[in-house]
Amino acid sequence: MQKFITINGFMGVGKTTVGKRICDILGRSAFIDGDWCLDIHPFVGNIETKDMAIDNILHLSKNYYKCSECDSVVLSWIMSENTLNKIVLGLSDIDYQIYNVVLTCNKEALIERWNNDNTTEWRNDDNLNISIKSIDDFNKRTECLLIDTSNLSVNMVAERVIANLT
């Protein structure tokens, strides 16, 4: 059975980096960055664009499912429980084994990672403060495998995720 792995968490926690590393380790995998599915310039985040992004994610996921070269899909995106539920429901007509992962870290680790990433244009103080405020909310998630990445390398986090795939 093909695997569908969601990597969720706040901005800057390492979702994209970990998701890509999981694909590298697993092989025969597709990586979907939810932000790519909502890449509107200028950015508009409302119900219409969020629903469009979910539809794009589902379309890509179903195409990867049909591809004989793909055994797993890794989706990296900031997802509310409602958004995650819409994606899971949208995939219910295909035979994916779905694994939900939430990455978190402490404030100090987040700030260090944030300051070390100079390639992302949205790394600013306003977004950092939004991310810091959401740490507690993500730490309360119960529908998933919750991994505190504060003192872990990318490889260690990826291996923990993979170890929980059955």
Per-residue pLDDT of 99-138, as tens digits, reads 999 999 999 999 999 998 877 777 889 999 999 999 999 9
Domains: count for the chain = 1
Question: How much is the pTM?
Answer: 0.95
> What residues make up the domain containing 76?
2-163
> Distance (Å, rounded) from C-alpha 141 to C-alpha 130?
18
CATH code of the domain containing 52: 3.40.50.300
Q: Which is nearest to 19 in space by CA: 158, 160, 165, 162? A: 158
Per-residue pLDDT of 42-90, as tens digits, reads 989 899 999 999 999 999 999 999 999 999 999 999 999 999 999 999 9
**According to the model, what pLDDT value does residue 50 have?**
95
Q: Which is nearest to 17 in space by CA: 155, 145, 165? A: 155
DSSP code of residue 7: E
> Distance (Å, rounded) from C-alpha 144 to C-alpha 142?
6
* DSSP H/E element including 73: strand 72-76
